[in-house]
Amino acid sequence: MKQVIMMKFKKLFEEQKSGLLYSYKFINEDFTLNKEDLSDESDLTSATLEQGMRMQLRSREALFLKKIDEALIKIQSGTFGTCECCEEDIELSRLEVRPTANLCIACKESEEIRETRSADGRKSKSMGSRSNLRIA
Ligand SMILES: [Zn+2]
């Protein structure tokens, strides 16, 4: 991938990361429940629900943050935009939609087919292996 394109993505990731870290901090700060607010049952229920939502949001953001960090490491090592499966360049159009993608469209599609198959009853696991697909 061209250096100039990689730098464009680097900037994008850094912006996303600082935005995430800001909200991440905010969520954490506001996370502890105020016991005085929990005077009756309905308050307790909504507070518990809110806490659950925050935890869900937090784990989703943590996961996204991890993906951004991984992408930044790849940019640094010069492997960003390379498919982890077939080692071809990931389509730029795909990266623009999903900058943290680590598989090209073809590999992603075959991965999804494989997942559907294994969810279908775990049949023919060896038939869908990566090495076989690459030969074909
Ligand atoms: Zn691929």
Report the separation in Å between the CA atom of 37 and the middle of ligand 1, taken as the mean of its atom positions.
53
Q: With helix as H, strand as E and coil as C, how does 34-84 read?
A: CHHHCCCHHHHHHHHHHHHHHHHHHHHHHHHHHHHHHHHHHHHHCCCCECC
Report the separation in Å between the CA atom of 43 and the middle of ligand 1, taken as the mean of its atom positions.
50
Tens of pLDDT, residues 22-40: 876 666 665 555 656 556 6
pLDDT of residue 24: 66
Q: What is the CATH number of the domain that holds 54?
A: 1.20.120.910
Among residues 41, 61, 80, which one ends one of the domains? 80
> Taking the model in full, what pTM does it have?
0.66
Q: Cα separations (Å) of 104 from 58, 95, 98, 116?
A: 28, 9, 11, 18
67, 117: one domain: no
- The pLDDT of 100-120, averaged and rounded, is 92
73, 102: one domain: no
Report the separation in Å between the CA atom of 108 and the middle of ligand 1, taken as the mean of its atom positions.
7
20, 50: one domain: yes
Report the separation in Å between the CA atom of 16 and the middle of ligand 1, taken as the mean of its atom positions.
25
Nearest CA to 7 among 66, 103, 97, 75?
Answer: 75
50, 31: one domain: yes
